[in-house]
Chains A and B, each alone.
Chain A
Amino acid sequence: MSKKLANFAQKRWISSSHNCFNMYDPRVFREPVSNVQELRKPLDVDDERNFLFLKAMKSDATPVFYRDSVIDKLIRVCTKDGEKETSRKNVLSALETIKRRQYKAWAKANDEEKKSIELDPFVIARKGIKNCHPLMKLQGVTRGGTTYQVPFPIEEPEAEFRAMKMMRDICRVRAKHGETHFRDILATELLAASQNEGSTITAKQELHKTCEANRAYAHYRA
Chain B
Amino acid sequence: MKPCGRLVFQVARRMGACEQKISSCRQFSSEATAHDSIKVGTLCEMELAVAKQLNMKSHLPAPLSKQMDTLGEIVTLIREPIAEIASCMRVVDKNLPNLRLVLWGAFGTGKTVTLNQAVHHAYSNKWAIVHLRSAMELTRRVKEIEMSSFVSGRINDPSNAVAILQNFKQQNQHIWKILGELLTEKDYEWSKSERTLKSKPITEIIEMGISAPFLASDCVGALFRELRRHAKDDKLRVLVAIDDANSLWGKTLVKRADRTYAPPSDLTLVVHFRRMISNDWTNGCVLMVADKKEVADARDELGVSRHTPLELFGEEGFEFVEPFVPIETTNYTESETDALYNYYVNKNWLASKAARSEEGRKQLMHLSAFNPYYYERLCAFN
Interface residue ranges, A against B (CB under 8 Å): 64-66, 92-93, 95-96, 99-100, 102-104, 106-107, 119-123
Number of A-B contacts (CB under 8 A): 42
B residues with a Cβ closer than 8 A to A are: 66, 70-72, 348-349, 351-355, 357, 359-360, 363, 367, 380-382
**Least Cβ–Cβ distance between B368 and chain A, in angstroms:** 11
In the complex the two chains form, is B380's CB within 8 Å of A64's CB? no
Q: Is the interface of B mostly helix, strand, loop or mixed?
A: helix
Given contacts A95-B381, A100-B66, A100-B70, contact A65 B351 (CB under 8 A): no
Distance in Å: Cβ of B231 to nearest Cβ of chain A = 42
**A99-B72 in contact given A64-B363, A66-B354, A66-B355 (Cβ < 8 Å):** no
Min CB distance A93 to B, Å, is 7
23 contacts between A and B (CB under 8 A): A64-B363, A64-B367, A65-B354, A65-B363, A66-B352, A66-B381, A92-B381, A93-B381, A96-B380, A99-B380, A99-B381, A103-B349, A103-B351, A104-B70, A107-B71, A107-B72, A119-B348, A119-B351, A120-B351, A120-B352, A120-B353, A121-B351, A122-B352
Residues of B within 8 A of A64 (CB): 363, 367
Give the complex CA separation of A107 and B363 in angstroms: 27
Known: A66-B382, A120-B353. 12 other contacts (CB 8 A): A64-B367, A65-B357, A65-B360, A66-B354, A66-B355, A93-B381, A96-B381, A99-B351, A103-B70, A103-B348, A103-B349, A121-B351
Q: Are A65 and B359 in contact (CB under 8 A)?
A: yes
CA separation between A197 and B72, bound complex, in Å? 29
Closest chain-A Cβ to B104's Cβ sits at a distance in Å of 28
- Chain B's nearest CB lies how many Å from the CB of A7? 12
Across the interface, which residues of A come within 8 angstroms of B359, CB to CB? 65
Which single residue of chain B is at the shortest CB-CB distance from A104?
A: B70
A203–B273 alpha-carbon span in the complex (Å): 58
Chain B residues within an 8 Å CB radius of A95: 381
Q: How far is the CB of B341 from chain A (nearest CB, A)?
A: 13
Residue from B66, B351, B367 whose CB has the most chain A CB atoms within 10 Å: B351
Contacts of B363 in A (CB 8 A): 64-65
Min CB–CB distance A128 → chain B (angstroms): 15
Write out the residue numbers on chain B whose beta carbons fall within 8 Å of the beta carbon of A123.
352
- B381: A residues at CB distance < 8 A: 66, 92-93, 95-96, 99, 121
10 shortest interchain CB distances as A-B pairs: A119-B351, A95-B381, A65-B354, A96-B381, A120-B351, A96-B380, A120-B352, A100-B70, A65-B360, A65-B363
Q: How far is the CA of A120 from the CA of B354 in the complex (A)?
A: 10
Interchain CA distance A181-B348 in the complex, whole Å: 28
Q: How far is the CB of B264 from chain A (nearest CB, A)?
A: 32
A102 contacts which chain B residues (CB < 8 A)? 351
Bound Cα distance A119, B72 (Å):
17
Chain B residues with CB under 8 Å of A92's CB are 381
Which residues on A sit within 8 Å (CB–CB) of B360? 65
Query: Which residues of B have CB within 8 Å of A65?
Result: 354-355, 357, 359-360, 363
Set of chain B residues within 8 Å of A120, measured between Cβ atoms: 351-353
B72: A residues at CB distance < 8 A:
107
List of B residues within 8 angstroms of A99 by Cβ = 351, 380-381
Question: Which chain B positions have C-beta within 8 A of A93?
Answer: 381
Cα of A106 to Cα of B72 in the assembled complex, Å: 12
- Tell me the minimal C-beta distance from A110 to chain B in angstroms: 15
Nearest Cβ on chain A to B169's Cβ, whole angstroms: 31
Cα–Cα distance between A79 and B66 once the two chains are bound (Å): 27
